[in-house]
């Protein structure tokens, strides 16, 4: 499995798109790197770039970008709202997949050493890449900023980790490190006062503010949100003050909690949060969790689609106040997704029907069974959502919300199996197309055919398992759900029964090509058991439905 790291360099240029384009072109010149996002800010005069790839390729792309930024950006002429000390102000590496933080640190050090020694740019390590606790924090390293670094760099305690201990006026210095995923997030205020924005920032950020106790001693009064750094600033481009935050651990303080704490503080100080702004990319979970949070505050079921959860998050936090917020361009999972993996489920209903009816053997019965099961559980989930909003049932919304969330999870799994079944069929066809001219080739071909055949059994078997699991939800909805929708739940049960039996046919036909008798015996026994259980469940559900409509 590929190791993936993300790199999020911040360049001290946010106004000249020609310069920004030349820097990003250097990133894209490296094979194996995917440029995900370029987010320039005019007021901050700073651009946040996000790209991802395997470690060696990412390090090469980062080096080329830092080199180009030093060539094009003259820090002696730079002005902007954001703290800065160099053309490439900061360059963090973030472990994304199949790589540890310790391994990522090694690559960060390699990049910093190369930048310091080959480009003669003073390079400082930070966060996990820095072994000296006094130099781990970016704000501590950057204190004094560009103007103060000509003197600071000559102090023994601020000698760079790599490169010269002389501060180059053109490029400035850079900070390179390894850290966990960070969300840069700004809350918009209905004020132009930086002092008042800072008061909200001090209320919210973990480090809080300095106050005097009853003895007159200066102490730190912590803020409301752990793992949050924040300052207030004025953005001339928008004509408002903002609370600028870095959320360094969203499992501790999620996006929606940081937003609500800003809302609370601003209100207590006579202000309003009018919206907010995400800088760069955001994990999908941050938005779906926010959507659920705001629905639950309204005592509404949170078992709605992923798309709807994101829409609720955007509207609740005003993420589209300053500019359009397009999830397909801002959610990291969407940008990393291979679109070929969900070719079928991305089609319109009519296109999917046309593709099924064509002379192509795929999608076939397995994919159709998975989709029919998806429709079945979707109907059960619909009943749960309708029931949670039924007048007079307000005290039961949480119960139905739990069921609707379960339904959404099962729906997502079944949707993924629509394309997975077709991919399984294609793997068999690929295996049969392998060369068979020599004994070695014949042996390899046979092994590939057997492996592909086993996979083609496992996929419809999974459809059977997941589809049958949806019967619990559907049955409960016929029993306690909105009685006006009982027939919808009944149709859902009919769909699921058909899906289970359809997938069972696929298991059986594919089993004829497998030689592993022990595996076949256990698998066919399980498939038969599920099919019989699905028939019984459908009969029980339909009996309940009929009892309620007579």
Residue of 39, 82, 161, 419 marked catalytic:
82
Give the span between the Cα atoms of 30 and 25, in whole angstroms: 9
DSSP secondary structure string for all residues of 193-222: -HHHHHHHHHHHSTT-EEEE-TTS-EEEE-
Whether 82 is a known active-site residue: answer yes
Cβ atoms within 10 Å, residue 293? 20
Is the Cβ–Cβ distance between 424 and 416 less than 8 Å? no
Whether 421 is a known active-site residue: answer yes
Give the span between the Cα atoms of 475 and 398, in whole angstroms: 18
Which helix (DSSP H) or strand (DSSP E) does residue 529 occupy? helix 517-549
Residue of 39, 161, 419, 421 marked catalytic:
421
CB neighbour list of residue 307: distance below 8 Å, 6 or more residues apart: none
- Sheet order of strands, 240-247 included: 228-235, 240-247, 183-189, 273-279
Give the span between the Cα atoms of 543 and 500, in whole angstroms: 19
Residues in the chain: 550
- Cα separations in angstroms, 281 against 5, 251, 331, 333, 455: 14, 16, 6, 10, 35
Counting Cα atoms < 13 Å in the Cβ hemisphere of 544 gives 22
CA angle at 232 for the pair 229 and 235, rounded to the nearest 5° = 125
- The residues carrying an active-site annotation are 82, 421
């Amino acid at each position: 499995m590929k190791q993936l790291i993300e790199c999020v360099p911040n360049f001290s240029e946010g106004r000249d798109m020609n310069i920004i384009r030349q820097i990003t072109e250097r990133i894209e010149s490296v094979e194996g790197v995917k440029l995900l996002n370029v987010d320039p800010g005019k007021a901050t005069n700073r651009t946040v770039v996000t790209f991802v790839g395997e470690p060696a390729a990412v390090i090469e792309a980062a080096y080329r970008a830092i080199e180009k930024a030093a060539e094009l950006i003259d820090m002696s002429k730079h002005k902007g709202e954001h703290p800065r000390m160099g053309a490439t102000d900061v360059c963090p590496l973030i472990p994304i997949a199949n790589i540890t933080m310790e391994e990522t640190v090694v690559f960060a050090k390699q990049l910093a050493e190369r930048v310091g020694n080959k480009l003669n740019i003073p390079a400082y390590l930070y966060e996990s890449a820095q072994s000296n606790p006094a130099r781990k924090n970016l704000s501590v390293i950057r204190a004094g900023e560009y103007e103060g670094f000509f003197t600071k760099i000559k102090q023994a305690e601020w000698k760079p980790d790599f490169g010269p201990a002389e501060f180059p006026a053109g490029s400035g210095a850079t900070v390179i490190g390894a850290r966990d995923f960070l969300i840069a997030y700004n809350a918009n205020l209905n004020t132009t006062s930086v002092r008042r924005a800072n008061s909200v920032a001090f209320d919210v950020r973990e480090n809080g503010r300095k106050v005097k106790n009853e003895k007159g001693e200066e102490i730190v009064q912590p803020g409301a949100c752990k793992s949050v750094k924040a300052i207030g600033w004025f953005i001339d481009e928008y004509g408002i003050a903002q609370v600028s935050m870095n959320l360094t651990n969203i499992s501790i303080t999620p996006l929606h909690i940081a937003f609500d704490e800003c809302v609370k503080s601003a209100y207590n100080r006579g202000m309003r949060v009018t919206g907010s702004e995400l800088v760069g990319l955001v994990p999908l979970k941050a938005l779906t969790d926010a959507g659920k949070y705001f629905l639950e505050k309204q005592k509404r079921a949170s078992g709605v689609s992923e798309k709807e959860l994101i829409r609720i998050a955007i509207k609740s936090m005003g993420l589209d106040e300053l500019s359009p917020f397009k999830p397909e361009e801002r959610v990291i999972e969407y940008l990393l997704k291979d679109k070929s993996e969900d070719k079928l489920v991305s089609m319109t209903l009519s296109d999917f029907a046309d593709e099924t009816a064509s002379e192509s053997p795929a999608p076939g019965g397995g994919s159709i069974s998975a989709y029919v099961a998806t429709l079945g559980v979707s109907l059960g989930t619909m009943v749960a959502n309708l029931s949670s909003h039924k007048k007079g049932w307000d005290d039961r919304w949480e119960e139905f919300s739990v069921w609707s969330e379960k339904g959404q999870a099962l729906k997502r799994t079944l949707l993924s199996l629509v394309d997975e079944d077709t991919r399984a069929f294609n793997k068999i066809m690929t295996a049969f197309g392998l060369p068979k001219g020599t004994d070695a080739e014949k042996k390899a071909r046979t092994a590939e055919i057997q492996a592909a055949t086993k996979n083609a059994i496992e996929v419809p078997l999974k459809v059977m398992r997941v589809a049958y699991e949806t019967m619990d939800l559907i049955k409960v909805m016929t029993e306690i759900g909105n009685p006006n929708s009982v027939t919808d739940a009944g149709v859902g049960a009919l769909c699921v029964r058909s899906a289970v039996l359809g997938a069972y046919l696929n298991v059986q036909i594919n089993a004829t090509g497998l030689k592993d008798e022990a595996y076949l015996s256990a698998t066919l026994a399980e498939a038969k058991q599920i099919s019989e259980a699905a028939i019984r469940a459908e009969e029980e559900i339909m009996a309940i439905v009929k009892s309620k409509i007579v």
